[in-house]
Amino acid sequence: MSSVSMVARMAAHRRSRVRAYNHRQRHEQENIMSFGDYEPFRVDAAGVDIVGMKGGDGPPLLLMHGHPQTHEIWHKCAGELAKHFTVIATDLRGYGASGKPASDAHHTPYSKRAMAADQVAVMRHFGFERFLVCAHDRGARVAHRMAMDFPNAVDRLMLLDIAPTLAMYEATDREFATAYFHWFFLIQPTPLPELLIGGNPAAYIDRVMGNRHAGLAPFAPHALQAYRDALASPGAIFAMCEDYRASASIDLEHDRADLERGLKVASPLRVLWGREGVIERCFDALEQWRRVARDVSGRALPCGHYIPEEQPEMLLAEMLAFFAADAP
């Protein structure tokens, strides 16, 4: 290779690194701006770091995201919520910037029991023994387990676009398995799904999220990039798969044990789901939740799966009405 060609390649490499650096800087600035005056935090939850954003003033409200996302899913709601609540928006264990611990043969570190304990530890770190919860997708499954394991901690509970995990597995048919193929792909033994996703994590994000009702249109560019960056981080793909492996094994054991003992969610529960989504097509959400919770209400919203980004205004109205129900 000639010295001129080598210099040209080195210059091109430097330009590429500068562009990548500038892109990361813009992404970090946009992430901060989307949460206004929120402050980032990192809390050690029994040896696993849980990262998130804290802002606002008022009754404590915990927000939990779903797959394959991060706390950034709440960016369209964060500003308004901070006017009414002290908001804690976390990255779940295994997602975003939170810790991604090693697992075991039973997937115990990624059980919803372990993930729920993380979130309770975060809230207690900030001095909140009892709090409100709104959670989407995987986070909603963590919230369900939290309400069972820590009934005194959960004041009121809002779950977005899920039916109970056990009910969904037990009612699986061709339509559901086709639409939620990732439920059955991600639970395959390691390292098969990790290797396949690892070849192009951004494509996994774009295709899985973009193949739903609204495509990629609801996602702000900085948020979508945050999800891509998170999945590309070390250990993230394995952790995501372990979350799903736990849901298909140890989590079902915990859910069945609750049913056998006649235990139900005691907190008032509001369930919202997308009218254009899989929950609407494949399940009777309210009927299923009434089997495992005592006080259930809810309805479908005119959107697909990603309610906080597809219908933030309607979600905010629902949250303010439901969480203010017991306010003086």
Residue 138 confidence (pLDDT):
98
Question: Pick the catalytic residue: 91, 118, 137, 243?
Answer: 137
**CATH numbers and ranges of domains, the chain:** 23-323 (3.40.50.1820)
Residue 36 confidence (pLDDT):
87
Q: Is-catalytic flag, 137?
A: yes
Q: Is-catalytic flag, 13?
A: no
Residue 327 confidence (pLDDT):
55
Residue 34 confidence (pLDDT):
77
Task: Report helix, strand or coil for 131.
Answer: strand
Q: Name every residue whose Cβ is closer than 8 Å to that of residue 25 and which is 6 or more positions away in sequence.
A: none
Mean pLDDT in order along the chain per 10 residues (328 residues): 39 38 40 78 98 97 98 97 97 98 98 98 98 98 98 98 98 97 98 98 98 96 97 98 98 98 98 98 98 98 98 97 75
Residue 2 confidence (pLDDT):
43
Distances (CA, A) of 191 to 96, 156, 181, 214, 234: 20, 39, 18, 31, 14
Report DSSP state, residue 232: T
E strands in the chain: 39-45, 48-56, 60-64, 86-90, 131-136, 154-160, 269-274, 296-301
**Backbone region of residue 184 per phi and psi (left: phi > 0; alpha: psi in -120 to 50; beta: other values):** alpha
Question: Pick the catalytic residue: 71, 84, 107, 305?
Answer: 305
Residue 151 confidence (pLDDT):
98
pTM of this structure: 0.90
